[in-house]
């Protein structure tokens, strides 16, 4: 990758944080209503965000003001501690407004859950000083961690850092130099890292998912978290907080978190297609009167509805694993991942089917449908949405074979 200059970013100053009194009045439905009401404003700035290659500052500020970033923060630290299905409910309408904005928001929300799994000392240090974090979480390529007294020296450069343009902390995976099987999350202030201006994509461009790097960065032991405990539901935070949500296998949950913006975006495509057809005429014929168009719209609508149902079912089953103490059930985790990747494939097919029948005008740069299709296409290319790999793993386990190395 060619060298690039360090990029300027806008860390959160929490000027739009909610007071304790305001938070006490917030319900899951409140967040859904606020995010839904914000939708037109997000859509209005989507093209600008794509041109900037990062979220628009005013949109980020407005999202802070809704209170959604308090969602996964434990109540003992003043957070809302809302549930997994509530997360699906309030992120789907944001995905319908703009996939890139929903992607960044969903990941930054979820990373507060991840931080809630760290040792109590780390949570006291971070949540004791601020209401929540805005942090990218990057696993690949993993950094190199050298154990030193009190912690580690971490060196690495991580890609696809969604949220990095408005973040204040960073979460990154590193491997112990003396024991490569010891993979850990490392948390450190983003001000101690370098952000590289490299994000140039034909879809999801507005996420601003640039690289970041550190060299010989000291990270104390308490701000590290072994991946094995995170996925097994045995992390320090899982013992600190009673809510079973904090025992959910996080890597599997990441698949759900990354699918929500895709399903939401596909819902937005269906709605916009229906609205645009009202005034569309091609060669003297109303587009809405064409059987092929009617069939394509109907098929897309059903496929996207199926995707949402399957996604919600996966979220319910994943939480059931945590509630029953079966988080080490790799076959079920693998099946749920395959199930989730199937939802995003359905959504990609639905969006593609609509674009195929709407003619060339849908590809005009000011038509949000073409942007949504590009966003969905790139988002489904994320490694965690690799359906072929997910189905292979699920198939191996169905046949009683060794699962091969897997994070799921």
The answer to whether residue 324 scores a pLDDT higher than 80 is yes
The percentage of the chain sitting over the pLDDT mark of 70, rounded to a whole number, equals 96
Residue range 255-275: mean pLDDT, rounded? 96
Residue range 309-316: mean pLDDT, rounded? 97
Reported as a single tens digit per residue, the pLDDT across 125-144 is 999 999 999 999 999 899 99
The answer to whether residue 293 scores a pLDDT higher than 90 is no
Residue range 263-272: mean pLDDT, rounded? 97
Total-model pTM? 0.94
For domain 20-127, give the CATH superfamily: Acyl-CoA dehydrogenase/oxidase, N-terminal domain (1.10.540.10)
Enumerate the domain spans of the chain.
Answer: 20-127, 137-228, 248-398
The percentage of the chain sitting over the pLDDT mark of 90, rounded to a whole number, equals 80
Maximum average pLDDT range among 119-123, 180-184, 364-368 = 119-123
For domain 248-398, give the CATH superfamily: Butyryl-CoA Dehydrogenase, subunit A, domain 3 (1.20.140.10)
pLDDT of residue 405: 62
What fold is seen in the domain 137-228? Butyryl-CoA Dehydrogenase, subunit A; domain 2 (2.40.110)
pLDDT of residue 328: 83
Q: If pLDDT is split at 50, 70 and 90, which confidence band does 406 have?
A: low
Mean pLDDT over the full length of the chain:
92
The answer to whether residue 1 scores a pLDDT higher than 50 is no
Reported as a single tens digit per residue, the pLDDT across 198-249 is 999 999 999 999 999 999 999 999 999 999 898 888 999 999 999 999 999 9
Q: If pLDDT is split at 50, 70 and 90, which confidence band does 250 have?
A: confident
pLDDT of residue 287: 74
pLDDT of residue 352: 94
Residue range 286-311: mean pLDDT, rounded? 91
- HEC assignment per residue over the chain: CCCCCECCCCCCCCCCCCCHHHHHCCCHHHHHHHHHHHHHHHHHCHHHHHHHCCCCHHHHHHHHHHCHHHCCCCHHHCCCCCCHHHHHHHHHHHHHHCHHHHHHHHHHHHHHHHHCCCCHHHHHHHHCCCCCCCCCEEEEEEEEEEEECCEEEEEEEECCCCCHHHCCEEEEEEEECCEEEEEEEEEEEHHHCEEECCCCCCCCHHHCCCEEEEEEEEEEHHHEEEHHHHHHCCCHHHHHCCCHHHHCCHHHHHHHHHHHHHHHHHHHHHHHHHHHHCCCEECCEEHHHCHHHHHHHHHHHHHHHHHHHHHHHHHHHHHHHHHHCCCCCHHHHHHHHHHHHHHHHHHHHHHHHHHHHCCHHHHCCCCHHHHHHHHHHHHCCCHHHCHHHHHHHHHHHHCCCCCCCCCC
């Amino acid at each position: 990758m060619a060298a690039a200059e360090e990029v300027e970013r806008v860390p959160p100053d929490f000027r739009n944080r909610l007071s304790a009194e305001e938070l006490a009045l917030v319900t899951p439905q409140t967040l859904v209503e606020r995010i839904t009401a914000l939708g037109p404003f997000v859509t209005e700035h989507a093209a600008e965000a794509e041109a900037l290659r990062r979220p628009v500052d005013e949109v980020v500020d407005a999202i802070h003001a809704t209170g959604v970033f308090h969602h996964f923060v434990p109540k003992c630290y003043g957070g809302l501690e809302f549930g997994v299905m509530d997360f699906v409910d309030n992120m789907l309408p944001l995905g319908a407004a703009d996939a890139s904005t929903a992607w960044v928001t969903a990941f930054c929300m979820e990373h507060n859950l991840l931080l809630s799994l760290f040792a109590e000392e780390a949570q006291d240090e971070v949540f004791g000083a601020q209401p929540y974090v805005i942090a990218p979480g990057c696993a690949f390529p993993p950094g190199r961690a050298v154990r030193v007294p009190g912690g580690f020296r971490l060196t690495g450069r991580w890609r696809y850092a969604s949220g990095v343009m408005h973040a204040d902390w960073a979460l990154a995976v590193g491997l112990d130099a003396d024991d490569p099987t010891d993979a850990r999350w490392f948390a450190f202030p983003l001000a101690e890292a370098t952000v590289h201006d490299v994000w140039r994509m034909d879809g999801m461009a507005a996420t601003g998912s640039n690289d970041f790097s550190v060299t010989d960065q000291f990270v104390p032991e308490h701000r590290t978290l072994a991946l094995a405990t995170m996925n097994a539901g045995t992390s320090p935070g899982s013992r600190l907080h009673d809510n079973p949500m904090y025992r959910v296998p996080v890597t599997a949950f990441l698949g759900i978190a990354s699918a929500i913006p895709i399903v939401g975006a596909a819902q937005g495509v269906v709605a916009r297609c229906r609205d645009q057809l009202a005034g569309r005429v091609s060669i003297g014929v109303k587009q809405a009167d064409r059987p092929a168009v009617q069939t394509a719209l109907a098929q897309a609508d059903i496929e996207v509805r199926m995707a949402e149902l399957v996604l919600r079912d996966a979220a319910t089953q994943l939480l059931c694993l945590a509630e029953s103490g079966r988080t080490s059930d790799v076959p079920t985790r693998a099946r749920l991942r395959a199930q989730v990747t199937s939802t995003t494939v359905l959504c990609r097919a639905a969006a593609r089917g609509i674009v195929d029948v709407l003619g060339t005008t849908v590809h005009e740069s000011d038509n949000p449908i073409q942007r949504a299709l590009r966003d969905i296409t790139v988002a489904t290319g994320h490694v965690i949405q690799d359906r072929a790999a997910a189905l292979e793993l699920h198939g191996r386990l169905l046949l009683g074979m060794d699962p091969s190395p897997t994070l799921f």
